[in-house]
Amino acid sequence: MSAARVAALMLAVLSCLAVGLSAGAVAIPLSSVWAGLWHPGAEGSAIVRDLRAPRVILAFLVGGSLGICGAALQAMIRNPLAEPYLLGLSSGAGLGAVIAIATRAGGAWAVPVAAFIGAMSAVALVYRLSLVSGRRLDPHVLLLSGVVVGAFAGALMSAVMVLSDAPGVRNAFLWLLGGFGAASWRALGVFSVYACVPIALLVLHARSLDLIALGDEPAHHLGVEVDRVRRLVYVCTALLTAASVASCGIIGFVGLVVPHAVRIIFRPLHRSLLPTVFLVGGCFLVLADVVSRTAVRPLELPVGIVTALIGVPLFALLLRRTLA
């Protein structure tokens, strides 16, 4: 990728972060945002430092992680429809969250932790179902197991929601639709420490992914341990997605469309695709979160709705222009 493109991307990232910091339920001008960031006593400082800064950075990291997961899965399964939630993960997380609310599990972290456990259980089940003939992970079986486990967890979740008499269990779907309202420095810290290992592993295996995208046979001949890479990619994307669900609910569409959009615009190899997707996905989610905070002030729209409402028309336009 040319230096000009890298510079343009960096500029876009910085502008998105600036917009994210200055827009919100309360409009704070950029000059005050700057003062508020560095001087704790300044007007609006508490909002900028303690609420918006962690929220914007978390949205960026989650958007980037979902983008990378989508790109890696699309290459690994060789299916353009692959996305982080395809493999039963979202329904597993939803089931965990709904059970936590229905059983009135106490504590501030009960719902996110339960969502994480639910997601990881679904992942483990899908993984076990997909291991055919020893330790080979078959992409087709993986896809089908994901759909099957997802449907089962989804049905269980609906059953719990219908049968539970816990107050607020119907509000569970609002949590599942996603939002960064609960972002804090602590949540951001947990997410970043946790996410850096899978992200690094995925980026390190970008070249293998490029080769696997050509087909198992050629990749094997070119020296890629296809089965090992596939297992690794699966585990990394699952861990990343489960963490993002736990911190902000299910935010669809970013992982599906950002990789495609980046491929259409930049046509890069995975080595530069993954970092580019990370940056673009991050920017996209930061901007979507800005819309979710400002569109119906003082109320908030779930960000999962916004990503689809903005992303779908944009992507449709892009698709038509490339095909034309």
Partner 1 sequence: MIFIGRPFAALRAGFPLLCLLVLAACQRTSRAEGRIVVIDDAGDTVRLAAPARRIVSLIPATTELLFGIGAGPVVVGRTSYCDYPPAAKKVPDLGDGIKPNIEAIVASQPDLVILYNSGQNAGVAGRLRELGIAAARVNTDALSSVTRVAHMLGTLTGHERAADSLATVFDTALASATLPAGPSRPKVLLLVWEQPPMTIGRGSFLNELLERAGGDNLFADVVETDGVVSIEAVAARKPDLIFTTAEGPSAFASRPEWQVVEAVREKRFLQVNGSQFNRPSPRAPFAIRELRAKMSRGRW
> Which residues make up the interface to partner 1 (CB under 8 A)?
24-26, 44, 46-47, 50-52, 54, 106-108, 110-111, 165, 167-168, 171, 174-175, 179, 181-187, 293, 297-302
Contact 229, 278 (CB under 8 A): no
Cα-flanking dihedrals φ and ψ of residue 296, to 5°? Answer: -125, 40
Q: Least distance from C-beta 43 to partner 1, angstroms?
A: 11
Q: How far is the CB of 158 from partner 1 (least distance, A)?
A: 13
**Closer of 18 and 47 to partner 1 (Cβ):** 47
Judged by DSSP in three states, 196 sits in helix
Asked if 74 and 259 count as a contact pair (C-beta separation under 8 A), the reply is yes
Give the nearer residue to partner 1 in terms of CB position, either 190 or 235: 190
Residue closer to partner 1 by CB (options 128, 297) is 297
Cβ neighbours of residue 161 closer than 8 Å, sequence gap 6 or more? 98, 102, 169, 170, 172, 173
Taking the least distance from each CB to partner 1, the nearer of 165 and 217 is 165
* Shortest CB 299 distance to partner 1, Å: 4
Give one word for 300, left, alpha or beta, with left for phi > 0 and alpha for psi -120 to 50: beta
Pick from 149, 118, 154, 116: nearest CA to 245: 116
Shortest reach from residue 73's CB to partner 1, in Å: 28
What is the rounded CA–CA span in Å between residue 89 and residue 66? 13
Nearest to 25, CA basis, from 295, 284, 306: 295
Which residue, 200 or 296, has its beta carbon nearer to partner 1?
296
For residues 253 and 67, give the distance between their C-alpha atoms in angstroms, rounded to a whole number: 9
Judged by CB, which is closer to partner 1: 299, or 324?
A: 299
**32, two tokens:** 């005050």
Q: Are 248 and 279 in contact (CB under 8 A)?
A: no
Smallest distance from partner 1 to CB 15, Å? 21
Query: Cβ 313 to partner 1, closest distance in Å?
Result: 24
Residue 21 beta carbon to partner 1: minimum distance, rounded to whole angstroms: 12
Q: Rank residues 136 and 297 by Cβ distance to partner 1 and give the closer one.
A: 297
Question: Which CA distances in Å does 60 have to 127, 210, 309?
Answer: 28, 25, 19
Complex with partner 1: residue 265 or 296, whichever CB lies closer: 296
Shortest distance, CB of residue 71 to partner 1, whole angstroms?
29
Q: Is 202 exposed, middle or buried (0-12, 13-18, 19+ CB in 10 A)?
A: buried
Q: Given the complex with partner 1, which of 100 and 143 has the nearer CB atom?
A: 100
**Least Å from the CB of residue 108 to partner 1:** 4
Dihedral of CA atoms 54, 57, 63, 64 in degrees, nearest 10, equals -140
CA-to-CA dists, residue 226 to 69, 138, 154, angstroms: 18, 11, 32
